[in-house]
Chain A
């Protein structure tokens, strides 16, 4: 098992970083049903031919508007859903290996015992701290659940472990928290419990799906700081899903921007914010209001509304809203991700 010190010094993906997760041509289609016994007439392309890598110990941000497919990717990576196509490769715990298949295992077809083992390594933190906990179970039961279903420890060991985790996420003294119900806690405290539950079996990889978006700003900053601190301390790799670029700036070393099921731009965080190359990323950045009353923002210059990704044309997904679109954007297939230097990848003919 890797220690925190093995986390990459260079989150850009230079030579020292080792990949923990490799997502290759991942696709998830949802059929649009027309009723019983009739084949679906169309598919929603929720995630369409997406590839990226997560490096060990980094926080990788997946940013986009609602319906762009970011949560679907998160659920695919923890196997709450089965992909329609593509591979999800996890590096086996053990010696890292540079070869694609040597040392990596495709989890798409993992079932039974292998799946249960995988669940020890990949966990998820959910958006809604009110709904992600069974209201009839105590905090102890909630946090201990992964230990119980994985058969780890006896009840006293679990109690000690849960107590330690609660202290670690800042719910102290733990003895006053263990036997409370979720409704007795505030939203911020509940999200701390959710983090404790995700980390209690020491996973190497955690999908965090908008963990702070339902919290008040003062709590949400605290939770963000807590999660970053724990990642460093425990060497956890996060896939951090959010609609809020400001949150992603503080949480993530690299950010991928999604639009209608595709990653359109991927870069190191400050590079992406200061030098956005895709017109959609630029629109997204200029649409964020500024907390300085004196500042004036660039107007957002994209057109129309988001279309629905039902049987989309194979051309660029953004062509109909793009202020820079040319004939090529209408004629050619969706642009491939191209490196514009230093691992700054963009899928745009006009970048």
Chain B
């Protein structure tokens, strides 16, 4: 190469900027520093919105609840009395029993400890919500980006499929499917995720991706010789990620609600969940009993409402991180 002029070799260490403390570091360390700095900045914006912090605190409480169940079972709770499915409170003469020192949230009509049921269900609600959300967002981001960049037939097919999924009443569809097949928690999560991913969110991700595909940096990547795969993976999808995180939060909410309704209708092959707790109270005839048997309904119902709204709040706070225009200044 004759045309390359003589140049001084560049310094082997790199600064990442961001203040006077930027010491020279190596290439991999530089990337790690950048990622950490990005996280720090996002975090400082996130904590400014009170709803986000409150939401995160509530999620942390639920996470503690999920962890506490196996711990309690291993230490102070014996399996015969406290197992959420097979246990029986022999110390109570009448079932369901109101709250007492031994059973802080009372027992259900089948003599099982309500607190134990509540705590043991928490982890499955988390798993369900997060699996469904990850599936939804992965599908929606990928097909949204593909539809937007490829256009033409791929776009038409994906969008017509999305129209079809949106026009189906998804809850009724879930009810029919769960009546036909014995769905377990994991299958349900995938199903909810697939329905969400090919439906409404695909349309939203595609329109967002369309905004990215017209940017000059996409043309710059093409002039550089970048293929479709490179452009979608390196340029389009990373610019959809903020939206993806946001949608994950909202998808968690939707998944937990769907599960609660299906369990309440007794359609799922799940041993225990908040929906099943309400279902049990209902089939035993206590749901219409009013406030007298509140401990059969309130803990599970409140948990469903609280966890769902919390993920929604965290989503709203993340929205402010991702969209600078929503910030107050």
B207 within 8 Å of A (CB atoms): no
- Least CB distance from B87 to A in Å reads 52
- Measured between beta carbons, the chain B residues less than 8 angstroms from A132 are 215-217, 219-220
Residues of B194-252 contacting chain A, CB below 8 A? 215-217, 219-227, 230, 234-235, 238-239
Instruction: Say yes or no: A179 contacts B10, CB within 8 Å.
Output: no
- Measured between beta carbons, the chain A residues less than 8 angstroms from B3 are 1-4, 202, 234-235
List the one stretch of B12-20, B137-145, B170-178, B264-272 in contact with chain A: B12-20
- Least CB distance from A172 to B in Å reads 9
- Measured between beta carbons, the chain B residues less than 8 angstroms from A115 are 225
Residues of A97-153 contacting chain B, CB below 8 A? 115-116, 119-120, 122-124, 126-128, 131-138, 145-146, 149-150
List the B residue with the shortest CB-CB distance to A133.
Answer: B217
- Least CB distance from B7 to A in Å reads 5
A327 within 8 Å of B (CB atoms): no
B34 within 8 Å of A (CB atoms): yes
Cβ-defined partner of A160 (8 Å) among B1, B9, B225: B9
Instruction: Say yes or no: B10 contacts A145, CB within 8 Å.
Output: no
- A1-B1, A138-B34 as given contacts; A175 in contact with B217, CB under 8 Å: no
- Least CB distance from B193 to A in Å reads 26
B24 within 8 Å of A (CB atoms): yes
A178 within 8 Å of B (CB atoms): yes
Instruction: Say yes or no: B225 contacts A120, CB within 8 Å.
Output: yes
Interface string of B1-40 (1 = CB under 8 A from A): 1111101111111111100001010010011011000000
Instruction: Say yes or no: A159 contacts B27, CB within 8 Å.
Output: yes
Instruction: Say yes or no: B220 contacts A119, CB within 8 Å.
Output: no
Instruction: Say yes or no: B15 contacts A179, CB within 8 Å.
Output: yes
- Least CB distance from A36 to B in Å reads 10
- Give the CA-CA distance A124 to B217 in the complex, in Å: 11
Instruction: Say yes or no: B14 contacts A179, CB within 8 Å.
Output: yes
- Measured between beta carbons, the chain B residues less than 8 angstroms from A137 are 234, 238
Cβ-defined partner of A197 (8 Å) among B17, B31, B220: B220
- Least CB distance from A214 to B in Å reads 11
- A1-B3, A3-B3, A149-B224 as given contacts; A134 in contact with B11, CB under 8 Å: no
Instruction: Say yes or no: A145 contacts B216, CB within 8 Å.
Output: no
Instruction: Say yes or no: A145 contacts B226, CB within 8 Å.
Output: yes
- Give the CA-CA distance A202 to B2 in the complex, in Å: 10
List the A residue with the shortest CB-CB distance to B29.
Answer: A179
- Measured between beta carbons, the chain A residues less than 8 angstroms from B235 are 134
A-B contact count (CB 8 A): 121
Instruction: Say yes or no: A146 contacts B238, CB within 8 Å.
Output: no
- Measured between beta carbons, the chain A residues less than 8 angstroms from B226 are 145, 149
Residues of A183-217 contacting chain B, CB below 8 A? 184, 194, 197, 201-202
- Interface bracket on B: 35 or more
List the B residue with the shortest CB-CB distance to A126.
Answer: B216
- Give the CA-CA distance A268 to B186 in the complex, in Å: 73
- Measured between beta carbons, the chain B residues less than 8 angstroms from A163 are 10-11
- Give the CA-CA distance A17 to B15 in the complex, in Å: 45
Instruction: Say yes or no: B224 contacts A173, CB within 8 Å.
Output: no
Instruction: Say yes or no: B30 contacts A179, CB within 8 Å.
Output: yes
- Least CB distance from A343 to B in Å reads 27
A167 within 8 Å of B (CB atoms): yes
- Give the CA-CA distance A179 to B29 in the complex, in Å: 11
- Least CB distance from A281 to B in Å reads 29
A168 within 8 Å of B (CB atoms): yes
- Measured between beta carbons, the chain A residues less than 8 angstroms from B31 are 179
A174 within 8 Å of B (CB atoms): yes
Residues of A217-252 contacting chain B, CB below 8 A? 233-235
A180 within 8 Å of B (CB atoms): yes
A80 within 8 Å of B (CB atoms): yes
Cβ-defined partner of A164 (8 Å) among B7, B16, B227, B238: B7
A285 within 8 Å of B (CB atoms): no
A176 within 8 Å of B (CB atoms): yes
Cβ-defined partner of A176 (8 Å) among B2, B5, B17, B239: B17
Instruction: Say yes or no: A124 contacts B219, CB within 8 Å.
Output: yes
- Give the CA-CA distance A135 to B222 in the complex, in Å: 17
Instruction: Say yes or no: B225 contacts A150, CB within 8 Å.
Output: yes
Instruction: Say yes or no: A202 contacts B14, CB within 8 Å.
Output: no
- Least CB distance from A44 to B in Å reads 18
- Least CB distance from A34 to B in Å reads 18
Instruction: Say yes or no: A179 contacts B225, CB within 8 Å.
Output: no
- A1-B2, A116-B225, A235-B3 as given contacts; A174 in contact with B11, CB under 8 Å: yes
A78 within 8 Å of B (CB atoms): yes
Instruction: Say yes or no: A80 contacts B5, CB within 8 Å.
Output: no
Centre residue among A122, A168, A176 by max chain B CB count within 10 A: A176
Instruction: Say yes or no: B221 contacts A164, CB within 8 Å.
Output: no
Instruction: Say yes or no: B7 contacts A80, CB within 8 Å.
Output: no
- Measured between beta carbons, the chain A residues less than 8 angstroms from B10 are 160, 163-164, 166-167, 173-175
> Lowest 7 CB-CB distances: which A-B pairs, in order?
A163-B10, A119-B225, A146-B224, A132-B216, A175-B11, A149-B226, A179-B30
Chain A residues within 8 Å of B, Cβ to Cβ: 1-4, 75, 78, 80, 115-116, 119-120, 122-124, 126-128, 131-138, 145-146, 149-150, 155, 159-160, 163-164, 166-168, 173-176, 178-180, 184, 194, 197, 201-202, 233-235
Identify 18 residue pairs between A and B in the complex whose beta-carbon atoms are under 8 Å apart, listed by A's number.
A80-B223, A123-B223, A126-B216, A134-B234, A149-B226, A163-B10, A164-B9, A174-B11, A175-B10, A175-B13, A176-B14, A179-B15, A179-B34, A194-B220, A197-B220, A197-B224, A233-B5, A234-B5
Known: A126-B220, A145-B224. 6 other contacts (CB 8 A): A119-B225, A126-B219, A128-B216, A150-B224, A179-B30, A179-B31
